[in-house]
């Protein structure tokens, strides 16, 4: 980001990125369909946590541009990216198991599911 700071010295730059030490994001099988929903929810909650933890410094910077953080939304413990998944039925569990097996097989053969 330093080149941008030098090129645009009178601007506010806000960089929001995942924590590189978060194994849940960086060690996950992103081709595994079963994990995608969980990863998206995890990233959403981590972003909310980051915004809450940096709200003092971010609020001042954002306010200069007419943007405010919705603290009620950030502090709401029931806020989720997607509605929590319903308990799987017997058929739903079988499909999820089959999808995981297909994902594993795809990685072993070099042909991940949904690719090529």
State whether 51 and 96 are in the same domain: no
Distance CA 5, CA 28 (A): 33
pLDDT band at residue 20, thresholds of 50, 70 and 90? Answer: confident
Work out the average pLDDT over 18-39: 80
State whether 116 and 78 are in the same domain: no
Instruction: Assess whether pLDDT exceeds 90 at residue 67.
Output: yes
Distance CA 15, CA 30 (A): 23
State whether 74 and 100 are in the same domain: no
Work out the average pLDDT over 66-83: 91
Listed range (6-20, 24-38, 43-57, 64-78) with the worst mean pLDDT? 24-38
Overall domain count for the chain: 2
- Identify the CA nearest to 77 among candidates 45, 29, 113: 45
Structural domain containing residue 94? 86-116
Query: Helix or strand or coil: residue 5?
Result: helix
State whether 28 and 76 are in the same domain: yes
Q: What's the distance, Cα to Cα, between the start and end of the chain in Å?
A: 35
Long-range contacts of 56-60 (CB under 8 A, 24+ apart): 58/14
State whether 24 and 77 are in the same domain: yes
Work out the average pLDDT over 34-58: 90
CA–chain centroid gap for 61, Å, is: 23
Query: Helix or strand or coil: residue 55?
Result: helix
What is the model's pLDDT at position 85?
66
- The residue among 104 and 112 whose pLDDT is bigger is 104
Query: Helix or strand or coil: residue 54?
Result: coil
State whether 43 and 66 are in the same domain: yes
């Amino acid at each position: 980001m330093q080149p941008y700071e030098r090129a645009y010295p009178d601007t506010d730059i806000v960089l929001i990125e995942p924590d590189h030490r978060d194994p849940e994001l960086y060690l996950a099988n992103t081709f595994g369909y079963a994990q995608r929903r969980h990863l998206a929810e995890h990233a959403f909650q981590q972003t909310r946590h980051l915004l809450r933890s940096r709200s003092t410094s971010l609020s001042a910077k954002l306010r200069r541009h007419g943007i405010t953080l919705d603290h009620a939304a950030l502090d709401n413990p029931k806020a989720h990216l997607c509605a929590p998944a319903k308990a799987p039925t017997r058929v739903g569990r079988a499909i999820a198991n089959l999808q995981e097996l297909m994902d594993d097989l795809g990685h072993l053969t070099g042909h991940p599911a949904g690719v090529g």
